[in-house]
Structure 1
């Protein structure tokens, strides 16, 4: 024990003597701890329990009941959020009246309704949507549900209050859909359950009438708390209840409906991914802090050699270095935890409304993670120290006198490590493939084998990179023999000090490999979705669509669209419908068995319209096709949909019926957007009607600007809340934004690792730079030397990371395709074809990262280099 305390004292003195290096290590270790602590504090504060937020959801009420009740008994969860019908019973739903609710809760009870609906409103010529809620905010039962920020609460039917996100100032007026008269905004309130929600609050009966589609709930005030037994009694009558008394004193677990199996597997996936993140963080810290410990050992070689000369054993020397790791790790973790809690306390009040909470368990885990990272980072330098300053009889690599003289000595390479590293990398790929193959089996699909495989693959890959990196450094240094002197010296210095260079290169390589893997998989997924994308209209077309089967509403939408786009000819398209204007489900029988072309999976199979619609799809006039349409024939754009000159399809409304109509085939120049166009006269012959639901503006006539599109969308949405307007612009992709985010994250890690290693190399390489200054080398040469060190580390790490990430990304794309593809038991008519493996590599981005990051690292390192080097006295 005395040796342990002596090691701690020596460590504390060494840390005080090398404050800059110690501060660097503390930052490397403490920053991840700070981020983890702040994230855990953020999550704990934002994760408001049902009991903590009960007043926000039901105010001062004793119970909360939804209007809809099952006609059969139900079994509900404790919080009333989930309910299922009793086994073997088919349940329907009915709406409870206020009298029925009061009867359920007994004499002395009081029920206050709250009604809500997603509704459009217009103010100052702008159309928007928000939840409109009718509730009496003056009733004491609503206390705690809303917080008045400014103004006052509404008193009459012509007054409302709005949430802050709507940005409706006091005194403004708005018109809500379904209400003719405008209402005035008299205040701003914050919904406590969700402050970011867009909500308008009105007094009861102020907005909705009997025809409005609203969701109603009841706040119940009871003389006594509603027990779990009473809740169960109401469950037998099909009623689901949220009770304050049950939340305050919950029943034993297992009383509610069971969770389905996929819900449990989601938890497994989250745990595995959290473990994966922790492993990656620990290894990155070890890679970055390890070289700093190694440099510290070299700076303290004389002190360690004196300990060995006085009889210190290798165990004592290892204890001194590990004491550095323990002391710095504990200090960094405590500083990181304090900083994380401070950041959480400063930020969370502006975002979360829950009580500030520090998760003690997660904070303790973050401290252990920081200390463990520091100890792991100090392990290799500790072993090197015990072998570098002990006499040859104790398996040393250098003599104590050599160390006391200040010479570095030579370091031999273990030839088997690169082979072992390559084996581990191949094992990482094999683990991913094996986990993917096993997860496809039905009995193992929900066991999280794919996620476990990812975790194991990450660990094996990281270890393989660590073992392989020294060999890569040596090979790269040999290739640099013909470079100019500063860069040749930088490569030689990196090869001679692989204990310092290899971890930094491995950290850069690992960060780049993660970026490259994610980039390949994301780009390939985006390419697969892009290949599957089928436009609904001709590129550049403007379309207005309504989903309500109401002819009067459609006429209003047509009038609104025509007035918003004056002078623009509009093409009207419809669908087959029943007598009540409800759309018929039409399925075309294609002349293919098994896998059919993917183009058959369109938004619409057939459309009903006139000559203008036919010309729109054919991109010009076609007299023969127009004559066939006028004669009552269908014009088919997909030849596989034609059988012996007839278009065969099934129409399903109340029952399924099969129809065959004469047809002609035409091929649109840009491929079919729909299968066929049917004449309007055909609907009556089939005993059906036509429900028009789409207006199209041809791009040859109108190219809608974003401002026009916004104005049109607002106008049609105000005419009918189910209406929408869109412009066909092709496949929407945000891949560039996502990849840019990945690049920025990788750049932070790459530059951080590069600058840390370069700073350590520059500090340790002062004698070499002093020699250059002594022989008359200008400051430019010293800057190029440091820039070359940064470029060597970052270029080698980035190039290796892209190569490894490319391999893992390709394996991930193939594995994900095999995992998600479930082969059918037998061919089915009209079944979509199997998707091939779509591989898309962002070569341009990889090239930019490969050139840009090393160049940026070299420029910054060279610019920040101090060229005044003090001459040192050498013993030899």
Structure 2
């Protein structure tokens, strides 16, 4: 018990300090403590067996008398089940965490179509794309997506970007590339201006497009009332942002950054344009410019492709038929938004549980066979006093249940505790990291647990199936 409690305490201490070596040492000590406690636990259960019917009482008594054989089998089952449950718990939590951190490109079911060779062949018209999309993808709406280009910039080394600028009172003062101290990280995590920028830290950017309101609902998935208000702003010559932090006093500050060919300096111009914040939306952050605003910024609209509204994500076969219909205009690539579906680790979890189940049934079978061989004399006594033949089979079932059931129960408890400590350590590290990261949820791998709970039942069934019911009768030779 000292090893169990001390190992758990050491693992918890290592988790609070995010020290993998200390966590591993604590888990090993805890497992060794459970191994050392198993013979005593068998003895305690045997004393409780006096309240049970004869078959399970004899099974517990035999396990207690032959602890040298029963304890290793139970510990083997416990170790296999604990490893399966611990890894299953981590995988289940990691799958849900990935789904929570998923950043969609479009509303679920929508499709973004891009031409792979726009300069080689003429571009299809919106009507041609709409006809193919309705026929093959089941589309209900199609809109042209237009990006921006700076006519004053030319040449292979040129660069132009158009982005909204955060107001000073909304901008986070800490940058992810800074070498922040522990105190500065705590300040950044506590600053409300730095809480909603997780998507901006790891490569996401604000996509700038030119639109008159036709592509807006397909790109953002906004409700009809918000779409109507945003479209009115675009028709009035304003701009629309999908992140309300960029809107200040009814205006949006737009930066135009240009790098001329043969020069290293960046030329930045800023414009305050009437704007509207469209929330809530789905998809990546976007800045939508009206045609009037684009001309004011000296920008040229360029075709980026088409966005298609579908009720369900189209299959690969339907996508292939759509691109084949437009083959005369070149080749096309499709980006289909499938949504944030949790990763399915069920096959791996079931494989781990099956491996633990094989070890459980093997250990239970060996221990049951040894107990049956050593208890042959007692079976003869039972036959002599008139016991029914089924008693032998029932006794084998109970002996297998003691080994498989006790080992599985200890393994499930140890595995869930191990997974909780590992996840707590990871979350402890994430809680002090900058930028802030999504923590792991604490989940129970129910598919694996279901299999592991069923395994002792299967082991008991196998013991009863392969055990002869006829009781042995010993004859004495004169």
1:665 aligned residue (268, 273, 277): 277
Counterpart for residue 839 of structure 1? 441
3-state SS of paired residue (1:522): helix
Q: In the TM superposition, what are the counterparts of 1:612-623 in structure 2 within 5 Å?
A: 612-616=214-218, 617=220, 618-620=222-224, 622-623=227-228
Counterpart for residue 693 of structure 1? 304
**CA RMSD of superposed structures (Å):** 3.5
Counterpart for residue 178 of structure 2? none
Name the TM-score, length of structure 2 as normaliser. Answer: 0.77
Counterpart for residue 206 of structure 2? 605
Confirm or deny: 8 A CA contact 1:810 1:839 kept in the other structure: no
Aligned-partner Cα distance in 1 for 2:267–2:404: 66
1:678 aligns with 2:289: yes
1:864 aligned residue (449, 466, 477): 466
Deviations 1:694-733 (A, max 9, x none): 4222135x76245313444677899767833424233351
Confirm or deny: 8 A CA contact 1:465 1:510 kept in the other structure: no
Query: CA 1:531–1:730 in 2, change beyond 3 Å: closer, same or farther?
Result: closer
1:570 aligned residue (125, 137, 142): 142
Unpaired runs of 5+ residues, structure 1, are 1-417, 438-449, 825-831
Q: Which has the higher contact order (CA 8 A, sep 6+)?
A: 2
Structure ID, larger Rg: 1
Counterpart for residue 263 of structure 2? none
Q: In the TM superposition, what are the counterparts of 1:523-602 in structure 2 within 5 Å?
A: 523-546=92-115, 550=118, 555=123, 562=130, 564-566=132-134, 568=139, 569-579=141-151, 584=161, 586=163, 588-589=165-166, 591-593=170-172, 594=188, 595-598=194-197, 600-601=199-200
Aligned-partner Cα distance in 1 for 2:383–2:231: 89
Counterpart for residue 493 of structure 1? 62
1:795 aligns with 2:377: no
Displacement after TM superposition at 1:509 (Å): 0.8
Displacement after TM superposition at 1:809 (Å): 0.9
Aligned-partner Cα distance in 1 for 2:336–2:328: 15
Query: CA 1:750–1:571 in 2, change beyond 3 Å: closer, same or farther?
Result: farther
Aligned-partner Cα distance in 2 for 1:476–1:843: 28
Query: CA 1:566–1:853 in 2, change beyond 3 Å: closer, same or farther?
Result: same
3-state SS of paired residue (2:71): helix
2:340 aligned residue (730, 734, 753): 730
Aligned length: 432
Confirm or deny: 8 A CA contact 2:240 2:278 kept in the other structure: yes
Deviations 1:282-340 (A, max 9, x none): xxxxxxxxxxxxxxxxxxxxxxxxxxxxxxxxxxxxxxxxxxxxxxxxxxxxxxxxxxx
Q: In the TM superposition, what are the counterparts of 1:320-719 in structure 2 within 5 Å?
A: 418-427=1-10, 430=13, 436-437=18-19, 450=20, 456-457=25-26, 459-546=28-115, 550=118, 555=123, 562=130, 564-566=132-134, 568=139, 569-579=141-151, 584=161, 586=163, 588-589=165-166, 591-593=170-172, 594=188, 595-598=194-197, 600-601=199-200, 605-608=206-209, 609-616=211-218, 617=220, 618-620=222-224, 622-654=227-259, 655=266, 657=268, 658-668=270-280, 673-700=284-311, 704-712=314-322
Q: In the TM superposition, what are the counterparts of 1:204-353 in structure 2 within 5 Å?
A: none
Confirm or deny: 8 A CA contact 1:432 1:457 kept in the other structure: no
Deviations 1:66-107 (A, max 9, x none): xxxxxxxxxxxxxxxxxxxxxxxxxxxxxxxxxxxxxxxxxx
Query: CA 1:469–1:537 in 2, change beyond 3 Å: closer, same or farther?
Result: same
Name the TM-score, length of structure 1 as normaliser. Answer: 0.44
Displacement after TM superposition at 1:575 (Å): 3.1
Confirm or deny: 8 A CA contact 1:770 1:870 kept in the other structure: yes
Counterpart for residue 281 of structure 1? none
Confirm or deny: 8 A CA contact 1:543 1:694 kept in the other structure: yes
1:806 aligns with 2:416: yes
Displacement after TM superposition at 1:772 (Å): 3.0
Query: CA 1:821–1:694 in 2, change beyond 3 Å: closer, same or farther?
Result: farther
Query: CA 1:764–1:544 in 2, change beyond 3 Å: closer, same or farther?
Result: farther
Counterpart for residue 855 of structure 1? 457
Deviations 1:434-475 (A, max 9, x none): 6x33xxxxxxxxxxxx4x557645643442232122233233
